[in-house]
Amino acid sequence: MYQILKNMMIPKRTLIYMAVCLFGILITVFIGIIPNWFSNMRLDRKISELQLKLEEQKQIYPVYELLKNNDHQKSSMVLPFPAKNELLRESVESFPGILKTISREAGMDALSISPDINLLSSGSKFLIVDAVIRGDFFDFRNLLIGLGKVPYLDSVEEIRIQRKRDFMEFKLKIRLVLA
């Protein structure tokens, strides 16, 4: 290649200027343009990731608004913590009526409520009540909140949930404190 350039009769000084200019162009490309190109590629990737996140947020926003509105409505409901008391043995027969009222207020149906009479006659400090209640799963939460208002409720020992065709059936084992 040097021979071809020598035959063209280009002055040596011009060749030096051309080499310096070519070197300057290469330095500009390697120092300025290529790193800038990589930086632009990295920024494009970040932009596409942020656009995906933004699309996800746009899709989730209606659900967020719904949950936020429900949260404001439910925040006014405080769980009851009544002072603990004991149920008199003479008024044990009133509890099934109370449980029916609580289930009705929660939007559920009490199918059967049966206290364990054997524990009552044995002088135990506790009374176990078996209850079968039918309704919706979300109404069951309201039922449990209503049960929390009962001052002589010790615990809900067992909860069995059976899914039926059009409703759910809840079998509860409730433990009451007796005097």
Strands of 168-177's sheet in order across: 109-115, 126-135, 168-177, 153-163
The pTM assigned to this predicted structure is: 0.54
- Residue 14 has a CB neighbour count (10 Å cut-off) of 9
Per-residue pLDDT reduced to its tens digit, 20-75: 999 999 998 888 888 999 999 999 999 999 999 999 999 888 888 888 877 655 54
**Cα–Cα distance, 70 to 86 (Å, whole number):** 36
Distances from the Cα of 2 to the Cα of 7, 19, 60, 115, angstroms = 9, 13, 68, 111
